[in-house]
């Protein structure tokens, strides 16, 4: 806040995964959202972020967003950040 005004959100690429992890979800639901095949099996007929997954696999050799979001989730759960936020 500045002089009683709420400042706009400042994007921080390094904290993106933290933001993605914070939606009040369980880890299993988050896994399903990121890639339903991880939960339902490789033959599951639906994909959530196919274009992103394909792009990152080409660029990084992995679905990078999935790894970063789940790592952020695990870190925030382990260090008590979720508990501090009432989750």
pLDDT tens column, 1-31: 444 555 555 667 776 666 665 666 788 988 9
At 18 the pLDDT is 64
Distance CA 61, CA 55 (A): 9
Q: Which sign does the torsion angle of CA 30, 32, 33, 38 carry?
A: positive
At 64 the pLDDT is 95
What is the DSSP annotation of 45-70? S--SSHHHHHHHHHHHSS-HHHHHHH
Delimit the domains of the chain by residue range: 13-84
At 83 the pLDDT is 76
Residue 53: pLDDT over 70? yes
* Mean of pLDDT over the chain: 81
Q: What pTM was estimated for this model as a whole?
A: 0.69
Helices 50-60/64-78 angle, 10° precision: 100
């Amino acid at each position: 806040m500045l002089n009683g005004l709420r400042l706009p959100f400042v994007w921080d690429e390094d904290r993106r995964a933290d933001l993605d992890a914070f939606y009040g979800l369980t880890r299993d639901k988050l896994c399903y959202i990121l890639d339903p095949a991880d939960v339902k099996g490789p033959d599951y007929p639906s994909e959530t972020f196919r274009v992103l997954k394909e792009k990152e696999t080409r660029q990084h050799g992995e679905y990078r967003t999935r790894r970063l979001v789940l790592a952020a989730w695990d870190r925030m759960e382990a260090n008590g950040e979720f508990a501090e936020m009432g989750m």
